[in-house]
Structure 1
Amino acid sequence: MMITLYVIYGVLLIVGGIMGYAKAKSQASLIAGIATGALALIGAGVYDKEIHHIATSLSGHALRVGGEYDNLAKIVFAEAFLAMVVATIFISRYAKTKKAMPAIPVIVLSAIVIIASFTPMAMGH
């Protein structure tokens, strides 16, 4: 579930950056969209790899406190932090321009990523 959310978030950030460039010829939007989207997608890939590693290493073994989940926690925090940065940028943009598009959808999606990242589901439970 979290992998899907992170992939959707990354793809939409990239698409948004491309749309910003296509509509307003904004190179900043293009670069920021591709950079943040790529980071979200990389995080999704690392998250997926870590979940599989945890499942493999824990099969047949007693669960250790911490250990296997430390890297996963770092990945989840990084994804949430990225979403917080993106949300902050778009909140600032909305405050200046009062234009709902694309600010409000990006803020809402970022909030969903942030909230979901701090649920037990994000830690593979």
Structure 2
Amino acid sequence: MSLGVIAAIAYGLLAIIGGIVGYTKAKSQISLLAGCGTGILLILGGILQIQGLTWGLIFSIVMSVFLIITFISRLLKTRKFMPSGLMIIAGFIAVAMMGYQLQILL
């Protein structure tokens, strides 16, 4: 399994876990749906990479950048590090790892 696959799946799992935690703590159905939805899409991108489809990697990068932008906006509004700051840092790490993998493939 490549570095890009691991990054996409790990970030997807983190998004799902974050959505579930957001739902249990704040009863936020939006957190649950958004976290699980984006998490599943990131994991799907990782699975597509395993199958040799390079566009799965590009899709995962786009989803990760979308999440980073979303969480930056949320961090600026709430001024609370958790969970936004964690997801931003994890997102940058995931994008860096997937970008490195994409560079190798191209």
Q: TM-score, normalised by structure 1?
A: 0.77
- Residue 44 of structure 1 is matched in structure 2 by 46
| Bigger Rg, structure 1 or 2 | 1
1:20 alignment partner, SS class: helix
- Residue 12 of structure 2 is matched in structure 1 by 10
Q: Find the partner of 2:62 among 81, 88, 93.
A: 81
> When you count helix as a share of all residues, which structure comes out higher?
2
- Residue 88 of structure 2 is matched in structure 1 by 107
How many residues are treated as equivalent by the alignment? 103
After superposition, the CA RMSD in angstroms is 1.5
2:80 alignment partner, SS class: coil
Q: Give per-residue Cα distances to partners, 1:48-90, cap 9 Å, x unaligned.
A: 011xxxxxxxxxxxxxxxxxxxx41x22221111011101111
Which segments of 5 or more consecutive residues in structure 2 lack a partner in the other structure? none
Give me the whole-angstrom Cα distance separating, in 2, the residues matched to 1:84 and 1:2.
14
Higher relative contact order (CA closer than 8 Å, sequence separation 6+)? 2
Give me the whole-angstrom Cα distance separating, in 2, the residues matched to 1:19 and 1:124.
36
Give me the whole-angstrom Cα distance separating, in 1, the residues matched to 2:4 and 2:65.
16
Q: Give per-residue Cα distances to partners, 1:74-108, cap 9 Å, x unaligned.
A: 22221111011101111000000101000111001
Q: TM-score, normalised by structure 2?
A: 0.90
